[in-house]
Structure 1
Amino acid sequence: MNAPTGPSTRNGGDLVIETLTALGAKAVFGIPGQHALGLFDALSRSKLSFVSSRVENNSAFAADGYSRATGEVGVLFLSTGPGALTSLAGLQEAYATGVPMIVVASQIPLDGLGARRKGMLHQLDDQKASAANVTKSQRTVHHASGIPSAIQDAWADAITVPQGPVWIEVPQDVLLAPVFVPPVADALAEAYQHPPRIELIDEAVRWLGEASRPVIVAGGGVRRAGAQAALLAVAETLGAPVVCSPGGNGAFPWNHELSLQSWVEDRYVTEVLEDADVLIVVGSALGEVTSNYFTLEPRGRLIQIDAEPRVLESNRPALGIRADARAALEYLETALTATSGGTAADWHGQGPVRVVAQTLAKVAARLDAQDLAKERRFMADIRTAVPEDMQTFWDMTISAYWGWSCWDARSGEFHSAQGAGGLGFGFPAAIGGAVGLQVAGKSHADARVLAVSGDGSAMYSISELATARQHNTPVTWLIVDDGGYGILREYMVGTFGKATATELARPDFVALAQSFGVPSRLVDPEDVGAALAESFAGQGPNVVVVQTLLKMFAPTHL
């Protein structure tokens, strides 16, 4: 029997699109490539929205931002070789932060795999191996009939905790191969559950039953698991102060009487963690920033809850409980209520609420002593301008470093690139987030998001102004221009007394944005709030540029 031919012929690319659609995908990010043409031709026959970025790394950030903004799986299409490799830094951020993504990369034809053919365009010796450090798993599909199962398995892997990006590569001829099977109408991918081991929960409850000074560190795993309500219940049952890591910012109500907010880099907060007789770390590795750059020296017992087994006890000996944050906290709350109804947290007779208030007062006093009025007003003005439920996306810039500690996410979401720490995340991730909110049914106004970058990080993603304009994406981009890599400048001056190679020639960002057809304005630092408020009322993308030099706060006495 001969295979059907002609323009109506379905091929391997159609199986990719049909399976993704059946699994619930609504949008795709990427850039076409020669070996992926069959994939993109099939995309033209689908209802999936496609956002064409200008650089593959930014496509990865956009798919990441889509997932963070919506809680759904981000989908990324890549071409072979250079295109695939260019995406890896973006995928490192998604992998480090636990963002579920499906990455479909094209490949050279099957008869070239494993060979070293001279002159075969885009060929890598082992493309899949290049992705091994930045994705949960990798697979190559060798026959079109295997595409639906491979994608379904990959989807289940991506959403199983610890979540993350999963890599699938499909050779050019497999994407183009005609198929006889009917269209994929249904697909099911379920996450594998990791409930906490009951004996570990029982031991944690025993420790907490004896505790008088419990404290909780809430990491990004709490937010990703949707465990905010469970965290609040456990904290109130225990009478435990809660501090959020940068990734966990927003996991606990900012103004709750037990909230130490996100001042993990202040030594006064570190001292509260050290004084705890039981410290619960949930959804966090207790890594470099959260441990205040490894200065944290807990004197009590440590309970660590995380879905990623490699994280458990990676930095501190602990009672390690492998579990999704929500499941573990719900088990813990049930067990605590059933045994004693909580602990008598007295904190040396002062009570946890007073300890929290005193600690935050000390943090404020330290800031007051450091001549940071400009920085504090700048961040406060941004916070005032940003609507309660607006999602924000922050590059690795001094403003974001402030945001890690001082930003009250309220009913919005705070997203930053602290997982891997690469530059260029903010704007493309915001584009993906806005697209996701629109696909989810939000109006243009309600889908608007804010991106915040420095001038150095802005140059990593400046080409995405074309993407934002092309798709009329409701993103307001705040560029804080200090003429260089500001945080590196500050680190070098603090360490060596001078900065080297941190100063940058940069464009006129206003004129550059306008050349893309994107409205842009330059404002003074004291006018940033008003400028943002006006920009949020605009249509499509817009840019606000502020030229100012911000300083970081010192976490200890100067």
Structure 2
Amino acid sequence: MTHQTAEHSTAVALRNGGDLVVETLAALGARTVFGIPGQHALGLFDALSRSPLHFVSSRVENNAAFAADGYSRATGEVGVLFLSTGPGALTALAGLQEANATGVPMIVVASQIPLEGLGARRKGMLHQLDDQKASAANVTKSQRLIQHASGIPSAIQDAWTEAVSSPQGPVWLEIPQNVLLDKIMVPRVEDALAEPFDNPPRVELIREAVSWLSAAQRPVIVAGGGTRRGKAEPWLLSIAEKLNAPVVCSPGGNGAFPWDHELSLQAWVEDRHVTEVLEDADVLIVVGSSLGEVTSNYFTLTPRGRIIQIDAEPRVLESNRPALGIRADAGQALRALDSALNDALSGAGGNGAHWHAKTPQELVKETLAKVQARLDEQDLGLERTFMADIRSAVPDDMQTFWDMTIAAYWGWSCWDAREGEFHSAQGAGGLGYGYPAAIGGALGLQFQGKADRVLAVSGDGSSMYSIAELATARQHNAPVTWLIVDDGGYGILREYMVDAFGKATHTELARPDFVKLAESFGVPARRVAPADVGDALKAAFAGDGPNVVVVDTLLKMFGPTHLGI
């Protein structure tokens, strides 16, 4: 053996299973990993020291999952999460539920106890779970246990393909401690390819949909989150204009259709006037939405016409209403539908849609006016001005991340995303999403070479779920402005309880001085009155690294109908 060959063999022998993980991820295009080190995962973190991948260390595993989610949403890349065993893996599950419900592509690599401890062979090992991946079954697309180092590259490549194929979502892999640590002779991973599976619509279903739509007089479109995930916006706009069909966006679909378009009902899906428009449609096209709790205005929606439902997730189709179900990626489906409508409506100048002596444009204008009149009746000047001031301060292309708080509930309906992206936790509805997701998004954009700042919005209750991530933001100098709306408790739950029982119980919270707390982490912060929130945000956006704006105010939610009805 030559001296050069001996050196090469020694270099290969020093590598371990952790190296195969990070090499494969890098070959697939990963830039960043989120997570927290753990005893059984040390092989992963040792390998990161020999890798070009950025590592972002969160303080709580659930927040690391939210950060990987926010990274993926902001950048369009796959989020990568490293987890330790047992408690570490379990703590991340609520964050993964949000990613799974919202269709965010992620690769989750969880460590596992050594192979000899799996099953019933040995008990009492630290962090031991008899079937750890079973715990992830409800919140990830699939789960894999890798028992041999040589299987790592192919398993990660397969998982990546599954994560990016519609319906997108997080995929779980777990690797025992000894497989990560043991020295290997497997060659360095040089390349890897993971292309999403094709998910086009069936031809006969598109043909039937075109038949319905060609004859429709009152078509309406609901654009859900799948519209954005499938990058279907150009075809959504084209179809709406061909059919002369009003469009309303769900919270997840917010931004999929131009806010000020003459056919845009914006995102007022929780307003009864908009619900009535959907009910009066003779053909309702639902794209990338289950017509679930929020989009159906809390299951009060009772359509009288026929429904065409397009979704990549087969479990969603017809789950809440009978429909012509088209299982397909939203982008591929709307592109096919748009092309077919070109032929069907050729020379007709649209389908002649007309709403009871009104044009669709007149109907949209009248409906939005009714929405504003209803708000006028409800003494919501503070809330409307507050949201308008935030919107005015936020640059048109800034991405925003919203926690489950009253301001976010307003944002679902009234936020004009413009050229930015609107991200919220309405998929699963867990608290604590906004700030860690914003950190992941901001750092992801930074690693892409962009200098974009992002905004996170939380209440005082939800902010306490992620308050430890002030340390993460400071450590990585994340350009995130965190707006904390402090109303002294769980505001939306307070409203729910008062409405249901006449009083609220156990919704009031002791909380810290958020300004002093942020400053103790080295993060600049200021407290302002509601009237000054716009100026405070503009000043914060001009800053460097993380900063915090706290507003003490009690916001109310709008009622879905006119008072007394």
- TM-score where L is the length of structure 1: 0.98
How far, CA to CA, are the matches of 2:136 and 2:45 in structure 1? Answer: 22
Q: Please point out which of 102, 107, 110 is paired with 1:105.
A: 110
Which residue pairs with 1:504 in the alignment? 509
Residues 1:536 and 2:541 are matched in the alignment: yes
- CA displacement at 1:346 relative to structure 2: 1.1
- CA displacement at 1:340 relative to structure 2: 1.6
The question of whether the paired residues in 2 share the 8 Å contact of 1:4 and 1:178 is answered with no
Which residue pairs with 1:526 in the alignment? 531
Residues 1:349 and 2:357 are matched in the alignment: yes
Which residue pairs with 2:439 in the alignment? 431
How far, CA to CA, are the matches of 1:352 and 1:119 in structure 2? Answer: 67
Which residue pairs with 2:491 in the alignment? 486
Residues 1:167 and 2:175 are matched in the alignment: no
Indicate the SS of the match to 1:320: strand
1:176-222 deviation digits (Å, cap 9, x = unpaired): 12121221110001111111001000000000011010000000000
How far, CA to CA, are the matches of 2:344 and 2:377 in structure 1? Answer: 46
How far, CA to CA, are the matches of 1:38 and 1:307 in structure 2? Answer: 37
Change (3 A) 1:372 1:385: same
Residues 1:93 and 2:94 are matched in the alignment: no
How far, CA to CA, are the matches of 2:485 and 2:12 in structure 1? Answer: 50
Which residue pairs with 2:521 in the alignment? 516
- TM-score where L is the length of structure 2: 0.97
What amino acid does structure 2 have at the position aligned with 1:236? E
- CA displacement at 1:119 relative to structure 2: 2.6
Which residue pairs with 1:127 in the alignment? 132
Q: How does 1:164-203 map to 2 (within 5 A)?
A: 164-203=169-208
| Structure 1 stretches lacking a partner, 5+ long | none
Q: Please point out which of 325, 330, 338 is paired with 1:333.
A: 338
Change (3 A) 1:230 1:10: same
What amino acid does structure 2 have at the position aligned with 1:499? A
- CA displacement at 1:344 relative to structure 2: 1.0
CA RMSD of aligned residues (A): 1.3
Which residue pairs with 2:88 in the alignment? 83
How far, CA to CA, are the matches of 1:370 and 1:198 in structure 2? Answer: 49
Residues 1:230 and 2:235 are matched in the alignment: yes
How far, CA to CA, are the matches of 1:260 and 1:137 in structure 2? Answer: 37
Residues 1:385 and 2:393 are matched in the alignment: yes
- CA displacement at 1:115 relative to structure 2: 2.2
Which residue pairs with 1:279 in the alignment? 284
How far, CA to CA, are the matches of 1:259 and 1:227 in structure 2? Answer: 16
The question of whether the paired residues in 1 share the 8 Å contact of 2:117 and 2:123 is answered with no
4+ residue runs of structure 1 moved beyond 2 angstroms? 1-8, 115-119
Q: Please point out which of 355, 379, 399 is paired with 2:407.
A: 399
1:247-297 deviation digits (Å, cap 9, x = unpaired): 000000000000000000000000000000000000000000000000000
How far, CA to CA, are the matches of 1:557 and 1:375 in structure 2? Answer: 17
How far, CA to CA, are the matches of 2:186 and 2:365 in structure 1? Answer: 65
- CA displacement at 1:110 relative to structure 2: 0.6
The question of whether the paired residues in 2 share the 8 Å contact of 1:116 and 1:125 is answered with no
1:296-317 deviation digits (Å, cap 9, x = unpaired): 0000010000000000000000
How far, CA to CA, are the matches of 2:354 and 2:41 in structure 1? Answer: 63
The question of whether the paired residues in 1 share the 8 Å contact of 2:13 and 2:185 is answered with no
Which residue pairs with 2:309 in the alignment? 304
- CA displacement at 1:350 relative to structure 2: 1.0
Which residue pairs with 1:414 in the alignment? 422
What amino acid does structure 1 have at the position aligned with 2:435? F
The question of whether the paired residues in 2 share the 8 Å contact of 1:15 and 1:183 is answered with yes
Which residue pairs with 1:66 in the alignment? 71
